[in-house]
Structure 1
Amino acid sequence: MKIFGAMYDKTMEWSKHRFAAFWLSFVSFIEAIFFPIPPDVMLIPMSMSAPKRALRLALYTALASTLGGMIGYAIGYYAFDLVQIYILKLGYQAHWQQAIEWFKAWGVLVVFVAGFSPIPYKVFTIAAGVMQMAFLPFVLTAFISRAARFLLVAKLAAWGGERFAAKLRKSIEYIGWGVVVLAVVAYFILR
């Protein structure tokens, strides 16, 4: 069954849309608060299809993610009791505990690590508010971390460019089904 090729083609088509940068920024913003899909899913194809815009797109992504992180911080600081149930329902309890332990041990440095961590970024933004971390160091560290990550991702994708996009398209079915298999295996192992 070939479904990933069509999804790949559609994603590459959307990455060239005139409002793609807006949607990339929007996804980056909401991902730092509640959205489960990281902006890399949009940044990579956009950077491959427009390598000259990759660094600008990474900057948009970092700025929007930092602004979203500020909202996540405010939620943790002012309204954690209202959203705590959702952390449990969404299955972030283990990630939450890990983030809190890291904040206790390393303070603001955790925000820098969070920009590269596989733990969802929203967990760290809300945890920073709950831990009442100093706001300005949080914002500065969040921006530096997110900018470093997204600049790296965008630059690597732009470096590959259209050539890499074409090679990736040839293997996308194998990659897609491989990810599905790994996700199922991880689900059963981590349960």
Structure 2
Amino acid sequence: MLQKTYDWMMEKAAHRHAVWWLAFISFIESSVFPIPPDLMLIPMVLAAPTRWFRLAMVCTLSSVVGGYLGYAIGYYFMDSIGAAILAALHLTEKFDAFKPLVDEYGVWVIIVKGATPIPYKLITIAAGAFHFDLAHFSFASFIARGMRFFLVAVLLWRFGPPIRVFVERRLKLVTTALVVLMVAGVAVLKFL
């Protein structure tokens, strides 16, 4: 099933309304869809490198807006819809482990987790279920998703097709390294 979904996404990435499809996939991935929008973003940036900023912004904004749907699912329907989504995607254990992190680190854990390939739907549903402050959720989501999608778009714009395989295979490593650098930078500024 995932292969068919992947093939469908690749077809939509070449569609004349590809930007709308990218927005739609970014939106639904934030709450229910199992495949990240990066898989559409990559070929779209490679096909139109000068549009990298616009494509990354569409991906970011749509993902954040979709995050509100995930947040609402967690906030209002955790026991029914939220639990079913997390169970279907095998994220229930991660959900249970997420609560203490949110309680202790708040915005930072949403930024860090939202920028990495950890399923964003886990974060959005959990934030709603834990009644995390919506303004802080919005801020953290925009930073996290922006870091992720702009990093992918900039790498593809700057290095072109040769970086594609690296990004596709090592996206988790690249985004994790970016997050570590960001956290280290904040720590250095805090202690100076």
Cα offsets for 1:50-108 (capped at 9, x unmatched): 10001100000000000000111111111111121342243112221232231122112
1:35 aligns with 2:14: no
**Equivalent pair of 2:13/2:22 in contact (CA under 8 Å):** no
1:145 aligns with 2:164: no
Corresponding letter in the other structure for 2:133: A
TM-score normalised over the length of structure 1: 0.75
Aligned positions of 1:27-66 closer than 5 A: 27-66=25-64
Change beyond 3 A, Cα 1:33–1:86: closer
Consecutive unaligned residues in structure 1, runs of 5 or more: 1-6, 176-191
Change beyond 3 A, Cα 1:37–1:89: closer
Q: Which residue of 2 aligns with 1:88?
A: 87
- TM-fit CA distance, 1:16: 4.1
Q: Which residue of 2 aligns with 1:102?
A: 101
Q: Quick one: percent identity of the two aligned structures?
A: 42
**Equivalent pair of 1:115/1:142 in contact (CA under 8 Å):** yes
Distance 2:129 2:116 in 1: 19
Distance 2:128 2:95 in 1: 13
Residue-pair matches, total = 160
Q: Which residue of 1 aligns with 2:174?
A: none
**Equivalent pair of 2:32/2:85 in contact (CA under 8 Å):** no
Q: Which residue of 2 aligns with 1:180?
A: none
Cα offsets for 1:96-147 (capped at 9, x unmatched): 1232231122112111112222321000001001111111111111012111
Q: Which residue of 2 aligns with 1:130?
A: 129
Distance 2:85 2:72 in 1: 16
Consecutive unaligned residues in structure 2, runs of 5 or more: 1-6, 170-192
